[in-house]
Amino acid sequence: MNKTSRFLIVSVWIMFCNLVHATQPAQITPLAFNSLMTDVASAKQQVIAVGEQGHILYSKNNGLHWAQATVPVDNLLTSISMLNESTAWAVGHDGVVLKTVDGGESWILLYSMFQASGAEFVDPLLDVTFWTEKDGLIVGAFGQLYRTKDGGHNWVDLRTELPNEDELHLNSVMRNADQSIWIASEYGSLFYSLDDGQTWQLKTLPSDGTFFSLSYDAASREIIAAGITGNCFSVSRDTFKAKQVPLRSTQSIYGVDIWDGKLHLVGSNGTWQAGQEIKIDYNRVNRHAITQTQSGDFIIATAQGVQAFSATSQAIKLVYKIEENK
C-alpha cells in the first residue's frame, strides 16, 4: 500500500487528534459507506478501505459488494497494508495498530503507541507496510519510524537512525524486493536505506514541497514520489539521478501506483491521472488512494466513501450490506 499522509495536511490531523483520546469501538452505521476513506488496498478478490472514526469497509468480490467491519477503535485510520487476501494491518491516530486475519471483516487492536507510552498525546501514524507475517514498518508525524519483527506485537523506535534532525513528517514508506526502503517526507526529502534499514541516507529532490506517496516502477527501476501541487519525481535505482515527471494537473497528489506500465495518480479536487489521460470527478471529491483488483477494476478511496471503475473507466454501481446491529 499501504499506503495514505497521502490525503491531508499533517497539521490538520494533529489538531483533530487533540480533540479526543477516549477509545471505543467504531459505530456500525450506514453513514460509514459515505464517510472519509483515506486508504485502500486489495489482494486477489479481497478489497479493504480504511478511514475516519475507525470505519473500515471490505469487499470479497473485487469491490462490487461492500460491508462494514467490526473495529475496536473509533480513531481516524490513515493507512492499510495487505499481505494477502486474509491478513492486513492498519494504523492511525493515537498510534493504533490494528490487524485482521479474515480479510477485513473483523479487527483486533494489536498495539497502541498511546497506551504503551502512557503519554497524554502521541503523534499520528501515517503509513504502514508489511512484507512478511512478522516484518513491518510504520512511519508518522515528526519523524516517527518504527519496526516490528514479530508481526506488530512489539515495535522498535528507529527515529534516531534517520538523518532527520528537523523531525520532518514521514508520510509514506515502501520496501522493495531488493531490500531497499524508501520514505517520502517534506521539503523535497526522501530517506532511503539500501541494506534493509541498517543505514540510512537522505536524497533531496529539486522541490521544496511535501511528498505524500511512493511507488516503484520495476520496468524502469525508478522510485516515483508524488505530492503537493502536482509535484512528481522519479529517482533511478541505478544512478540515483532524479527527474521531474510532468503531470497534466497541478492538484496535490495523495496516491500513486503503477499497473501494466501505466502511472496512476489520484489527488485533490477529484484528480485521477492514468498515464496521460485525466479522469476528473466533476463533484471535485478528493481522491486519496487507488488500487487495482484481480478483475482489473479500479477502487478509489475518497472523501465520500469508495468509488469503483472498470478497466475501461466506466463507473461501477456499488452494493452495500448494511447491518445496524452487527
- Reported for 186-189, long-range contacts at CB under 8 A and 24+ positions apart, including other chains, are 186/210, 186/211
Let me know if 222 is exposed, middle or buried by CB neighbors in 10 A (0-12, 13-18, 19+): buried
Q: Which three cell numbers stand for residue 179?
A: 531490500
- Reported for 95-98, long-range contacts at CB under 8 A and 24+ positions apart, including other chains, are 95/122, 95/123, 95/124, 95/125, 95/140, 96/23, 96/125, 97/125, 97/128, 97/138, 97/152, 97/155, 98/71, 98/72, 98/73
Domains of the chain by start residue, with CATH = 10-321 (2.130.10.10)
The C-alpha atoms of residue 109 and residue 82 are separated, in whole angstroms, by 16
Residues 53, 121, 126, 287: is their CA dihedral positive or negative? positive
Give the containing element (helix H, strand E) for 79: strand 77-82
Looking at the chain, the number of H-run helices and the number of E-run strands are 2, 28
Buried b (16+ CB within 10 A) or exposed e, 141-166: bebbbbbbeebbeebeebeebbebee
The C-alpha atoms of residue 107 and residue 246 are separated, in whole angstroms, by 40
Q: Which three cell numbers stand for residue 278?
A: 485525466
Instruction: Please state whether beta strands 65-68 and 319-321 pair in parallel, antiparallel, or not at all (unpaired).
Output: parallel
Which among 23, 93, 28 has a CA at the least distance from the CA of 56? 28
**Backbone phi and psi for residue 296, each to the nearest 5 degrees, phi listed first:** 95, 0
**CA angle, residues 101, 133, 71, in degrees to nearest 5:** 30
**CA angle, residues 93, 99, 104, in degrees to nearest 5:** 105
Buried b (16+ CB within 10 A) or exposed e, 295-320: eebbbbbbbebbbbbeeeeeeeebeb
Neighbours of 65 (CB within 10 A): 13
Q: How many angstroms separate the most distant Cα atoms in the chain?
A: 56
Task: Please report, in tens digits, the pLDDT of each residue of the chain (326 residues total).
Answer: 444 443 443 444 444 444 445 679 999 999 999 999 999 999 999 999 999 999 999 999 999 999 999 999 999 999 999 999 999 999 999 999 999 999 999 999 999 999 888 888 899 999 999 999 999 999 999 999 999 999 999 999 999 999 999 999 999 999 999 999 999 999 999 999 999 999 999 999 999 899 999 999 999 999 999 999 999 999 999 999 999 999 998 999 999 999 989 999 999 999 999 999 998 888 899 999 999 999 999 999 999 999 999 988 899 999 999 875 44
Single pTM value for the model: 0.93
